[in-house]
Structure 1
Amino acid sequence: MNDPTPGHRPSRITCLGGGHGLYQTLLAARHCAPERITAVVTVADDGGSSGRIRRELGIIPPGDLRMALAALSHDDETGRMWAQTLQHRFGGNGALAGHAVGNLLLAGLTDVLGSEQRALDTVAQLTGSHGRVLPVCNEPLDIEAEVAGLDDDPRIMRPVRGQVAVATTPGAVRRVRLIPEHPPAGPEALEAIGEADLVTLGPGSWFSSVIPHLLVPSIVDAVNGSDAQKVVVLNLSSEPGETAGFTSERHVHMLTQHAPSLKIDRVLVDNHELPTARERRYLERAAQPLGAEIVFADLREDDGDGGRSNRHDPSKLAAALLAMYRGD
């Protein structure tokens, strides 16, 4: 897309989330051509390479942070090489099997420099990053969910702990909490939200990448107190496991259930997700406690075969964000 006219685009964008959803949002933020992009990233991953590093070294799980760095890497040959290297995983069956290079690099730099944030900033320098990556909290967190449907009696709720266990549970997630509860947010994350012109939350794994931000009280306070335009980017569909069978309306209800005081300006929804006027009215009603307007736009990436993938198209998402920012 063409570079938007200065003054008609946000100069500072802060994106909250994790995983593949945040990756796509950061690509969209780059299309908006702001002066500054900041990723505020979840730190509750306990699976795969990140989980192994977290358990062995006691540091913040690096996987979601690594993906954000890859998304923001410079788009020249060197930047693309670094992005590919950060995402590369070792094969085989040995001790390194399954580890992402970027996870090991961040772990090593944290050990050498004595700080996860200094490690992130150092990798950002190597990659010619378009922005900065910050953990939402400066300590690793755990997620615990209340899950129904794991017993013969569907009314019985069972606790399920851990990001991977929550994401893959065969039951229905009713609520999640963080361990430790009410953790302090990183000061620089709060500053990035407060200084932003545009703040995005989502898309992503709803209970493990999106809602955890809202369980950090000072993050909600920072979002509510920011003069930025605040946008929730809704998922394109429910996910197997944690949000199986969820409607768009239920995704929004989960936000208000976990963060009753949260105030958002807009909820951005793919216009192919809600075909009937009745469903759209239900979604608009669900967004009222947030004080949010529902905005529909074409957001889904084409799959190259005439169909549509299950990912947000960065250029389409950027166009929608810019249109909302301009008030089109």
Structure 2
Amino acid sequence: MAALGGGHGLASTLSALRFITDDITAIVTVADNGGSSGRLRSEFGVLPPGDLRMALAALCDESEWGHTWRDVLQHRFDGDGPLAGHAVGNLLIVALWELLDDPVAGLDLVARLLRANGRVLPMAAVPLDIEADVTGLDDADPGRVHVVSGQAEVATTAGRVQQVRLVPQAPPAYPESVAAIRSADWVILGPGSWFTSVMPHLLVPDLQEALSVTRAHRLLILNLESRTTETADFTAAGHVDSFALNAPGVRLDVVLADPSATDDLDELEAACQRVGATLVLAPMSARDRVGVHDRLRLAAALQDIMAQPPTTPRGVAG
């Protein structure tokens, strides 16, 4: 099983999938340019380690050993010195990359330390930048297109993202990441920041080709909140249409959405039909935290789908 994404969204998916299988490969975005990851990337010229660290932590063994090392990886230094804000796991990962001169081997070693239930791989073999065409930043000319560069900048732009691209535009992917998609029985995308965590995978040519030819079932998990900073005027259907626009050669089999985030149900069903997907509705949100997935509810929804892949739109009791 392959799960594609980054940040908290991918961590939620991985936390749910571990209830279903231990055969998990996370393929993680490497475009972060902010915070600890951005500093390490700038100083050492390495892949940004933060999203990779979060994916590893989500897959840690459910034991005292696993939880202890998960907490060590996630610990951030306080204070005002040069270590302030750095996550221990980011420093450990970069240290292993320097020692081994092989990012995949370094991540595999951290996974062994955590006794992780799965593997974590980078989306691309080089650090990436995200560049977006954005409108709505000029009050005098709302339609004027501005180019916004950087993952952190695109994620927080006050304008409307029209299109995103990667710099470099055709980055190489690790063979292990391509092989994981091709050999998977299920490939899961989302949830997460739409233009900076989910869509970038579709812009890596090797990954898009693998997604188009794999025999795996392809499942897209929609966000609990459609209108985020990146997608302020997007509906749930708009997300599916955006997927089709960015990856016209990739078919979806299932779109999973929470009923609370589908105020455009007819439009969403139509959008799913346009990409060949069945829409499945299931409650996935945490009861006490708005906009956060409950890993048990998400796991139950995924288990139901994978036990019998749907061929017609239906709801999942919850």
- Code of the residue aligned with 2:41 in structure 1: it is R
| Alignment check: 8 A CA contact 1:205 1:239 kept | no
Alpha-carbon distance between aligned partners in 1 of 2:16 and 2:135, rounded to the nearest angstrom: 36
Instruction: Verify the 8 A CA contact 2:156 2:230 in the aligned structure 1.
Output: yes
Q: Is the 8 A contact 1:16 1:22 kept in 2?
A: yes
Deviation per residue, 1:243-296 (Å, 9 max, x gap): 123211111121111111111101100012225xxx211011122332111110
Deviation for aligned residue 1:240:
4.0
Amino acid at match of 2:71: Q
Gaps (5+ residues) in structure 1? Answer: 1-12
One-letter amino acid matched to 1:115:
D
User: Is 1:263 the counterpart of 2:251 in the alignment?
Assistant: yes
Q: Tell me the distance in 2 between the aligned counterparts of 1:108 and 1:49.
A: 14
1:177 paired to 2:202: no
Counterpart of 1:10 in structure 2 is none
Report what 1:293 is aligned to: 278
Amino acid at match of 1:323: D
- Superposition map of 1:206-221 within 5 A: 206-221=194-209
The answer on 1:198 being equivalent to 2:186 is yes
Structure-2-length-normalised TM-score: 0.94
**Match of 1:223?**
211
**Following TM superposition, by how much is the alpha carbon of 1:239 offset from its aligned partner in structure 2, in angstroms?**
5.2
Equivalent residue for 1:108, pick from 89, 95, 108 = 95
Partner of 1:51: 38
The letter of the residue matching 2:292 is R
Distance 2:227 2:32 in 1: 17
- Two-structure CA RMSD over aligned residues (Å): 1.2
Residue 326 (structure 1) aligned with residue 304 (structure 2): no
Q: Does 1:250 align with 2:238?
A: yes
Asked whether the 8 Å contact 1:59–1:140 carries over to 2, the reply is yes
Deviation string 1:109-166 (CA, Å, 9 cap, x unpaired) is 1111111111101111111110100001111000000000111211110000000000
Shift of 1:184: 2.0
TM-score normalised according to structure 1 size: 0.91
Structure 1 vs Structure 2: percent identity of aligned residues?
Answer: 51
Give distance in 1, aligned partners of 2:207 and 2:274: 18
Residue 316 of structure 1 corresponds to which residue in structure 2?
297
What is the aligned partner in structure 2 of residue 302 from structure 1? 287
Query: AA paired with 2:193?
Result: S
- For structure 2, the residue ranges without an aligned partner over 5 or more in a row are 311-318
* Residue deviations 1:161-202 (CA, integer Å, cap 9, x gap): 000000011111111000001222211011111111111000
Which 4+ stretches in 1 moved above 3 angstroms? none
Three-state SS of the structure 2 residue aligned to 1:117 is helix
Structure 2: how far apart are the matches of 1:292 and 1:220?
18
Tell me the distance in 2 between the aligned counterparts of 1:17 and 1:28.
Answer: 14
Q: Provide, for residues 3-42 of structure 1, a one-character-per-residue CA deviation record: whole Å limited to 9, x for no partner.
A: xxxxxxxxxx11000000000000111011x241110000
